[in-house]
Structure formats: structure tokens, C-alpha cells
Amino acid sequence: MWIIDSYYRNGHVELWERGKQGRTTLHRIPWTPDFYFQLPDADAHWQMIEALSEQYSILECQFGTVYGTCHGYRASAGRQVADAILEQTCNVARLYNVDSRPEHRYMAEHNLFPCGEPGESRFSPDFSLPDRVLEIEVLENPYATPECRSVRVTNRESGIVDLLFGDEKTVITDLSGIVSSCDPEVILFPGADIWVPRVVAKARHYGLDPPFSRSGMFRRIDATSYVSYGRTEYREGSLMPDGRLLIDTRTSFNYREGGLFGVLLASRLTGLCPNLAARFTAGTLISGYEVYEALLRGIAVPYRKTDAEDLRNVNGLRACDRGGMMFQPVPGLYEDVFQIDFTSLYPSVIVLYNLSPETVTNPEKPGFLPAVLAPLLELRCRTKQLKKTIPHYRGADSILKWMLVTCFGYTGYKNAKFGRIEVHERITSCSRDILIRSKEIAEEEGASVLHGIVDCLWLRGPGREHLKARIEEETRLLTELESYDWLVFLPMPDGFGAYNRYYGRLNDRSVKIRGIASRRGDTPEYIQRVQTEMLDLLGTASSRCEINEVSSAVRERYRDASDGLRTASPQEMAIHRQVSQLDYSRNCLEASAVRACKAAGIQVSPGMEIGYVVRDARKWAVDLSWEADGFDLAYYQGLLDRAWREIEFSLDMAARGGTGPM
């Protein structure tokens, strides 16, 4: 069955099936989840087992884990009972399948997955998409007004666009009518996580049936702030409707990266319903995928695991690896450069070297992580080739890229279900050896290494195709080759080359950029546009000499932008940044932005993105982006000049002549 939604409620797994004749059917299946537990000394806890047996079904059994078969008990009870067992045994009990989502576990144990027909492979990049897609956009600023009085509704299937205006009750009534008559399978709604709770609450206030949900019911995800890779992130709370996929296209990272196709692929792979696949991070997706694969294979999923890292002495800690390899570039403008990039290096290392928690002490044993990541890698290699000629596959490739990127980080996360720090360290150790050996091979073939960072090398020299083939043969890993007409490595303030700030023209005449102003999310729109236009001019040049020819046009574009800054719209100067905290010990722009939000009645949480315009940098004065009617000209001139210097560097290098760096 093609499942568009799934959840667990009142002792039932509820599956919404998308029918072939356009009808959507609800299947309610009685199901009671259970869990396993293992005791190091069952005799010492016989009283607890007897007491549990009087209230719940407790059966002695054997069950599988990644480390092998265990002897223990199967309890038909919920998480509260599991936590009570931990407390009663002073945390010596080992529990499994406690915190797996019930519907997720049901799907895995019954070999079901969302968004797929019977007999289909989860790992196929070709599958049907829903036909009935509705786009809804509230035309008002949710922070400026609490009422929904103007809405645009677009029916993708028919192409009909409805504009709804009037008092709030009338607009919600009309919106409910359109949703009911169109009966969409998917609703794409920018700002849904803010507007849907409001619309649902107002509909009930007016005595109307809430739109969006097929059953009239919703599941809630609470807002939360969390830290990921040292950065504070924020996830907006949301309401998920029964029986439909509702995506906030503004906040969903997975939708922005993969579109509807990517979200549905993530759902198929992880076994999570599409509503969750659209909202979860890439790390949660890869964790969900691993859990689904474990349950599918009859492997119990640990709860509050204790094998994150073995005890080691100081010498062992000093010897372990803690990061990837990098070679620092010399700043400059280089011609005829090529880049060799390993495809999904870290997950490829996991598969190639059989790295998994259970193989740390038993390397000959087939590992769980290599077995479950291998199909993802194969699919990524396929979509990476397909997207070169068929843009439809770009979303799938992007989702796979992010899932595979985060699988490495999860091996070192102490709470990851199948993580272990020794595996994390072994991956970085192998990748460092691979990059160093690749550098040696390149130099043996007569190429010079300009830069290298973790999984790719930038080189100049002959025989690039031969070099690529030799690196793949010796490392047993796939690579991608990109060729540049010219490439610029930018300097840091101390004059040394920056690791991750560069741009250059590829052989297909496109310009690739990393780390500069137009790539950064906090760059004001005006400055971002100006730098992009200057890069477009540089992109017409195929050599150092041609860069000299367009230099005057690039410089003129900067002068025009500088002259036009005074009359630019304040909204084009909005800076969008995530605030890591709410209380600041010193004055800064982010602190002023937080205070401005609070003054406007906007609740701010750590990790939330705030848009503001700097009114007076010397006084740390800012306005919220939609309220700004002016800006600090000197401050924004400084930002424009900083973006200009990133471009000017290449013009100066071209003017110096020669073929090497500055």
C-alpha cells in the first residue's frame, strides 16, 4: 500500500493509504508495542520479575543485538515500566526497543514503508509522486499581525489560483472549503508552523471544522532548541494533520534541499512518515534509517546505551585520531586547476573497512553499519550520475548526501543507537591515510597539490583522468573530477590561505563559490546581489588575461553599488542570524535584535533566526527587518567593502601576471 501518513494512537497503528482512484483510506490496526530487557543476574531480581508478571506479559526469550544473541525477557508494557526497571535495578538492566516510535517499529517488523507500492524497492530512485498538491500562502507577516485575512491558494494539478480576502472567519471558511473540495494529498505552506496552529485555533473558536486534517485531529511537535556540532539550532513547534503531508516550505531544510521528491525518498528510506521526514534533521533521518534497518533485520535497538567508549589510558587517548587531514593553500589565482573529490568519503570508509561498534574488537565479523550503509552509498552513486542529465534527481541526491554526511558524526555521538567513539576515530584515521596517499600518488604522477581538505584535493598538472583512475584503484574508493579554468584561494587576515573560502570558473562556465559573502546566509540581500553580479562578470572570463579584460567592468559595478547604497531599500539590508542565547553579557547586534523582538511581543528561543537592520552600529541600535525605515550607511558600506575585497583580490592577482600565486 502507498502510505501517505502513519502514527500510533489509542492502542492502534493508523495508516492512511493513498488509493489508485484518488481515494485515501484509513486502516486502524490494533497493536501493542513491547520491549526487551536483560539482567546481569536475573536471580537477584526475581521479586521484580514476579511483580511485573502479575500486571504484564513477561516472557523469557532470546533476542538479537549487533553484538550477538542475548538471553533476557520480553515485556508487553510501555516506557514508564522500562524506566521503572532501570530504577529498580540501579541502571544495571539493559533495555531494548523502548523508545522506538511504535508505528515505526510496526512498519519495520511488517516490512512496510511509506510512499511505495507493494513489491517496490525502498532503494529505487524511481517512484510515483502524489498528484493532488495544494500550495497555500498567507500573504501577511505573521509577526506583524495575528490574523489570517489574505491567502493565496494554488492547485498544482489544475493550475487554478484562488485569492482569499476579507475578515478572518470568511477567509478560514473559504480555505476549508477549497481544501475539502480539492482533497489534496500534499499541502505546501510557507510559514505553516506558525500559521497552522493559529488557523486551527481560530477555526475552533468560530465553530468551524479545522482545515488541513482528514480526521480533524492533529499531532503536535513541540518547539525545541538544541546544540548540533557546537551550534545552537531551533525547531519551530508544529501541528501535523492526519492523513495528509503538510510541509512548511520555509523552515523545512529537507524540503529546501530535496524538494517534495527528496522528502518522500527520505520517508521511504527511514520508514518514518513524510510529515516527520520533512521536519527532522538529517542526523535524525540517518538515525531513523539505522533503527528501521535494525528492526527489519530482527536486531533490538538499545535504550540508554552504555558502550559509547571503552576505558583507555592517557597514552591511548593521545594516540587516537580526532579529525580529518587538511593542507593549507597559498593564496592566489591559479589557472588550469582540477579537483578530485571522494564520493561520500566517510561512509565509504565505514563500508570499505568494515567499521561498526561490534567490529572494534572483532574486525572479522560482518558489521551492522557497513551492511546498512552500503545500499545508501550505491543509491547515492546512482543519483549523482542521474542528476547530471536529469535535474529531477537533484533533490534525491542532496538528501542522500546529507544523510551520509551525518552518519559519520553519529558514530561519535554518545547517545547514538549504533555509535562508538573508537569507530569515529578509526574513520578519521583511515581518511587521513587516504588523503595523504592520494597526495603522494598525485606527486608521483607529476601533479602539484594546491590545497586539500578531508575528502578532496586541488591540483595542477598533467594526466588528470589517469591520476583519478590510479587514486581510485589504490584507495578502492570512487571519486569525482572537476576542472577549473581558474581558481582563487583567498587569504585570511594573517595572510595565510583560508581553508574554506574560494571561488573559480569551472570548465562548464559556471562559477563555484565557497565561504564568501554571496554564499553566507547572513549577508544582506543588496550585498549578496552585488557580489553575485561581479562573480557573473568574472565568470565570462576563461583565463587570467580575460579577467584583466573584464576588470574595469567589475570595478565599475562595485562603484555603482557603492553610489547606490544610499538609496537602497532598508529591507534589502536585513541581516538574518541565529541567536545562540537570550541573555548577553555585553552589547552586540544580536542582543539588540533579541530585545527588539521581545519589545514587539515575539517570543524568542535560542537557535531562532532573527532578521534585523542595523540603524546605528555605534549604539548597537537595530530595527526588526519589516519595521526598518532606514539604516546605518557607514556600517553597510563596510560590509559592501568586505565583499568587494574578496573580488578585488582576484583582479589584483590577474593584474600581476604570471601563473602562480601572489
- Asked if residue 400 and residue 495 are part of one domain, the reply reads yes
Please name the residue ranges forming H helices in 327-393.
Answer: 345-352, 368-386
**Contact present, 453 and 342 (Cβ < 8 Å):** no
- Asked if residue 166 and residue 98 are part of one domain, the reply reads no
The CA distance from 119 to 114, in Å, is 13
- Asked if residue 299 and residue 162 are part of one domain, the reply reads yes
The CATH code of the domain that includes 461 is 3.90.1600.10
Going by DSSP bridges, is the β-strand pair 133-138/186-188 parallel, antiparallel, or unpaired?
Answer: parallel
For residue 56, is it within any domain?
Answer: yes
Q: What is the pLDDT of residues 69-107, one digit of tens each?
A: 999 999 999 999 999 999 999 999 999 999 999 999 999
- Bridge partners, residue 459, by sequence: 338, 449
Tell which phi-psi region holds residue 546, choosing left (phi > 0), alpha (psi between -120 and 50) or beta. Answer: alpha
Which residue, of 491, 515, 539, is where some domain finishes?
Answer: 515
Q: What is the pLDDT of residues 272-283, one digit of tens each?
A: 999 999 999 999
Confidence grade of residue 440 (pLDDT, cut at 50, 70, 90): very high
The CA distance from 622 to 615, in Å, is 5
- Asked if residue 170 and residue 284 are part of one domain, the reply reads yes
Q: Would you state the pLDDT for residue 232?
A: 83
Length of the chain, please? Answer: 662
Q: Would you state the pLDDT for residue 313?
A: 64
- Residue the block writes with cell 522506538: 100
Q: Is the pLDDT of residue 662 over 60?
A: no
- Residue the block writes with cell 520480553: 74
- Asked if residue 105 and residue 141 are part of one domain, the reply reads no
Confidence grade of residue 310 (pLDDT, cut at 50, 70, 90): low
The CA distance from 251 to 247, in Å, is 9
Which residue, of 109, 142, 159, is where some domain finishes?
Answer: 109
The CA distance from 76 to 53, in Å, is 10
Q: What is the pLDDT of residues 109-158, one digit of tens each?
A: 999 999 998 889 999 999 999 999 999 999 999 988 889 999 999 999 99
Helix (H, G, I), strand (E, B) or coil at 13: strand
- Asked if residue 143 and residue 44 are part of one domain, the reply reads no
Confidence grade of residue 309 (pLDDT, cut at 50, 70, 90): low
Closest CA relative to residue 557, chosen from 526, 515, 513: 526
- Asked if residue 490 and residue 398 are part of one domain, the reply reads yes
The CA distance from 423 to 350, in Å, is 9
Confidence grade of residue 231 (pLDDT, cut at 50, 70, 90): confident
Confidence grade of residue 416 (pLDDT, cut at 50, 70, 90): confident
Q: Is the pLDDT of residue 51 over 60?
A: yes
Q: Is the pLDDT of residue 312 over 70?
A: no
Helices 394-411 and 345-352 meet at what angle, rounded to 10?
60
**Contact present, 100 and 270 (Cβ < 8 Å):** no
Please name the residue ranges forming H helices in 12-163.
Answer: 46-55, 79-88, 102-109
Helix (H, G, I), strand (E, B) or coil at 152: strand
For residue 561, is it within any domain?
Answer: no
Confidence grade of residue 444 (pLDDT, cut at 50, 70, 90): very high
What's the whole-number average pLDDT of the chain? 92
- Asked if residue 260 and residue 170 are part of one domain, the reply reads yes
Q: Is the pLDDT of residue 625 over 70?
A: yes
- Asked if residue 231 and residue 340 are part of one domain, the reply reads no
Q: Would you state the pLDDT for residue 419?
A: 85
Q: Would you state the pLDDT for residue 228?
A: 72
Q: Would you state the pLDDT for residue 23?
A: 82
- Asked if residue 297 and residue 159 are part of one domain, the reply reads yes
Q: Would you state the pLDDT for residue 399?
A: 96
Please name the residue ranges forming H helices in 494-632.
Answer: 525-538, 544-564, 589-599
Closest CA relative to residue 270, chosen from 98, 116, 79: 116
Q: Would you state the pLDDT for residue 585?
A: 86
For residue 238, is it within any domain?
Answer: yes
Confidence grade of residue 343 (pLDDT, cut at 50, 70, 90): very high
Q: Would you state the pLDDT for residue 659?
A: 46
Q: Would you state the pLDDT for residue 235?
A: 85
Q: What is the pLDDT of residues 318-335, one digit of tens each?
A: 656 667 889 999 999 999
For residue 604, is it within any domain?
Answer: no
**What mean pLDDT comes out for the span 484-496?**
94
Q: Which domain holds residue 220?
A: 133-303
Q: Is the pLDDT of residue 513 over 60?
A: yes
Closest CA relative to residue 90, chosen from 243, 338, 306: 306
C-alpha cell, 525 = 540581500
**Which residues fall within 8 angstroms of residue 77, CB to CB, at 6 or more apart?**
34, 35, 52, 55, 56
The CATH code of the domain that includes 41 is 3.30.342.10
**What mean pLDDT comes out for the span 472-477?**
96
Q: What's the number of domains the chain is made of? A: 3
Lowest mean pLDDT across 125-134, 221-230, 558-567: 221-230
Q: Would you state the pLDDT for residue 233?
A: 83
For residue 624, is it within any domain?
Answer: no
For residue 406, is it within any domain?
Answer: yes
The CATH code of the domain that includes 263 is 3.30.420
**Contact present, 462 and 447 (Cβ < 8 Å):** yes
Confidence grade of residue 284 (pLDDT, cut at 50, 70, 90): very high
Closest CA relative to residue 98, chosen from 63, 141, 140: 63
For residue 439, is it within any domain?
Answer: yes
Q: Is the pLDDT of residue 259 over 70?
A: yes
Q: What is the pLDDT of residues 178-220, one digit of tens each?
A: 999 999 999 999 999 999 999 999 999 999 999 999 999 999 9
- Asked if residue 414 and residue 495 are part of one domain, the reply reads yes
Q: Would you state the pLDDT for residue 356?
A: 94
Which residue, of 460, 488, 515, is where some domain finishes?
Answer: 515
For residue 584, is it within any domain?
Answer: no
Handedness of CA 481, 474, 374, 278 (dihedral sign): negative
- Asked if residue 242 and residue 175 are part of one domain, the reply reads yes
Lowest mean pLDDT across 2-16, 248-262, 295-309, 589-603: 295-309
Closest CA relative to residue 3, chosen from 128, 109, 91, 88: 128
Q: What is the pLDDT of residues 161-175, one digit of tens each?
A: 999 999 999 999 999
**What mean pLDDT comes out for the span 45-61?**
94
**What mean pLDDT comes out for the span 242-254?**
95
